[in-house]
Structures are given as C-alpha cells and as structure tokens.
Amino acid sequence: MPNVPEVTSVPTSQPSPTGEAEAENTLAGIGEFGLIARLTEGRPSAQATLLGPGDDAAVLAAPDGRVVACTDVLVAGVHFRLDWSGPVQIGRKAAAANLADVAAMGAVPTGLLVGLACPADLPVETVSGLTDGLWEEARSVGVGVVGGDVASSPTLVLAVTALGSLEGREPVTRAGARPGDTVALAGRVGWAAAGWAVLARGFRSPIAVVSAHRTPEPPYAAGPQAAEAGATAMIDVSDGLLADLGHVAKASGVRIDVRTAALAVPDRLVDVGAALGVDPMHWLLTGGEDHALAATFPGDVPDGWTTIGTVADGEPDVLVDGRRYDGGPGGWDHFVR
C-alpha cells in the first residue's frame, strides 16, 4: 500500500481544548471505556457473530472448520492524511484493505477486529467517524466489528484484522498458477493512484478520481466467484498490478505476460494524465489501493472478469507486452525507496 507524500506536519488531531466543555469532546475527556462504548454500542451483530464486543474475546461461528485471517496497519502520515480524507473515508479504507484480502483467498468475510491507537487530544468526532466508516464497509459485506483494543499513542494508527470463511472451498493461494492459464482482472486499477497524484499536487478534483484514493471499491463477490470457477491463483492488487502479479509469478514458479491492449484506460484518467504529464497506463500497471482482484484461470474467465494476460513457463517474472517494464517500479514497497 503506497504511502502519502512527506510533509512538514501531518495533522492527526485538532488543537488541544482549553476548557472543560471542550475537553469532553476529546478522548481524554471521555476516557477509554467511554471510547469503547462509542465504538460498539448500538451496532447490530452479523449472523456469524455468536458473542460480540464486551467480553475478553469474541466468538464467531466457523462451520467450515477453517478460518481465513489477515491484518493491515494504517498509520497517519504514511497511509492517510486527515487533510486529504475524512474520518469515515479512512475507516472504510482500512476495512476494505482487509476485506479484499479475504476475498482474494476465495473466502467471504465473517468479522473484523480493530486495534486503535490515538492521541488523547484526538476529537471524539474523529474517532466516531473512523468507527462509522469501519462499520459501513463491514456492513456492505454483511459483517461487523466483533472486538479489538484501544491505546494511547502520539500517532493515529488503525490495525484491522479481517476473518473469513471458505464455505467448504479450498483457498485460492498465490502458488497455483500454471503455464497455459489465463490472467484476468476484476475491479478497476489506476484510479486510486491517479487520485493520489492529484492530491499530492495540491488539487482536490476531479472528485471521482480523488474519491477512488479516499475510498476504494473492491469487487468482494468476485473472489468467491473466482474460486467457484476454478481459479488456480489469486491476489488482491494493493501495491500495484505488476508488483502483485510478481508475487503470483514467484510463488507459482511461472512467467506472466500482461497485455496493455487489454487494459482499457478510462477517459477520466486520460484527462488527468494529460494535465499532470503522466502516462495513465503507468497508473494502471503500477498503482495500488484500488484493491482489484487478479487471478489465473485454466479456461474461460467468469462474467465480470477481464482477460489481461497469459501464464507461461520460464523464470518467475512479469512482462508487459513481452518485455520487462521500463517505466519504473512495478508497485509500492514500504522499505525500498
């Protein structure tokens, strides 16, 4: 997941209040248990939740006998900025990053666990927005927040764990692609990267592009659909299409060739690319955070999936139109600059 540009100061909270009335509007004013109450009270439980927030641990049904689990950490100033995105948008994005990983295994979500670390002077309104966003995205796939933890921290951090069920299917891993398979894509790519580029230049429009960075729209249902259709490998495109297909190529021991002719560049991205002096195809190939799904299939691809390449024998690698991509890194790596 890409980071946000370095700035002198990234606002993670508002100035400390000076009076008692204002203090009640911060986490220091309502305290830990007041915060937990605001995070959990009045929220409906999902079907898989047998025991929700309020005890030492939650209890979820697992009729399949297996549990899919994944975690993502979002740090203010690295993954998001409160002057770029509202709290609800950040909450939704944090949930989506994990729910998409569950879908990429061919599973359906069953619940979220949330770790929240934040400054004591963070406004309650900000935390309420984060919580609303987490719950909104969770409810969009029929689940909820089943538990978690809170702590004080000088920096706002969201750590989300998603749990899921395979519903009797085998997990679709990164390691199953075979020569002769077709590479296909569900969901959109390039939009979030274009939105990041717009925001980094100090602009706030076009809104459709900026909104793609603020709130991704993963194709959650496409994951189980691909598993049912016999997908041999699958991955969530979080760091960039080429980078993430590279993980599939390495895990499967195959060579993948992506055809740019199969990747339609939306007119809106053409316009933004022209304005910023960027080839929009670069965003489609290397941009992350749209959380599309990429998968390989031994035969025809399911409805809603677009064929974008092929799998062949060879040293593990990802080619673009038969050649190594020379337009820069294929995606984001937090520790390689």
What per-residue string of b and e applies to 34-50 under the rule 16 or more CB within 10 Å gives b?
Answer: ebbeebbeebebbebbe
Let me know whether 186 and 119 are in one domain: no
Let me know whether 43 and 132 are in one domain: yes
With respect to residue 10, please indicate whether it lies within any of the assigned structural domains.
no
With respect to residue 211, please indicate whether it lies within any of the assigned structural domains.
yes
Read off the pLDDT of residues 173-196 as tens digits, 9 standing for 90 and up. 999 999 999 999 999 999 999 999
Provide the pLDDT for residue 52. 76
- Find the distance separating the first CA and the last CA of the chain, reported in whole Å: 13
With respect to residue 258, please indicate whether it lies within any of the assigned structural domains.
yes
Let me know whether 209 and 117 are in one domain: no
Report which of residues 155 and 335 the model is more confident about.
155
Cβ atoms of residues 27 and 127 within 8 Å: yes
With respect to residue 174, please indicate whether it lies within any of the assigned structural domains.
no
Average pLDDT over residues 29-47: 64
With respect to residue 147, please indicate whether it lies within any of the assigned structural domains.
yes
Provide the pLDDT for residue 331. 54
Taking the mean position of all CA atoms in its chain, how far away is CA 336? 20
With respect to residue 171, please indicate whether it lies within any of the assigned structural domains.
no
Cβ atoms of residues 70 and 125 within 8 Å: no
pLDDT of 14 above 60: no
Cβ atoms of residues 135 and 43 within 8 Å: yes
Count Cβ atoms below 10 Å from residue 64 Cβ, excluding itself. Answer: 15
Range of the domain at 112: 20-165
* Binding-site residue set for Mg(2+): 56, 71-72, 101, 149, 236, 239
With respect to residue 331, please indicate whether it lies within any of the assigned structural domains.
no
- DSSP class of residue 26 equals B
The first and second tokens of residue 292, run together, are 């599309």
Q: What is the CATH number of the domain that holds 65?
A: 3.30.1330.10
- Rounded (to 5) percent helix, strand, coil in the chain: 30, 25, 45
Tell whether the torsion through CA atoms of 235, 238, 243 and 247 is positive or negative. Answer: negative
Q: At what angle are helices 267-276 and 191-200 packed, to 10 degrees?
A: 30
With respect to residue 212, please indicate whether it lies within any of the assigned structural domains.
yes
Average pLDDT over residues 237-246: 96
* Binding-site residue set for ATP: 148-149, 174, 238
Q: Residue count of the chain, please give it.
A: 337
* Binding-site residue set: 56, 71-72, 79, 101, 148-149, 174, 236, 238-239, 289, 332
* Binding-site residue set for substrate: 79, 289, 332
pLDDT band at 17 (very low <50, low <70, confident <90, very high): very low
pTM above 0.85, yes or no: yes
Q: What is the mean pLDDT of the chain?
A: 88
Tell whether the torsion through CA atoms of 124, 85, 159 and 334 is positive or negative. Answer: negative
Q: What is the CATH number of the domain that holds 213?
A: 3.90.650.10
Let me know whether 207 and 265 are in one domain: yes
In percent, the amount of the chain with pLDDT more than 90 equals 74
Number of domains in the chain: 2
Let me know whether 134 and 219 are in one domain: no
Let me know whether 311 and 221 are in one domain: yes
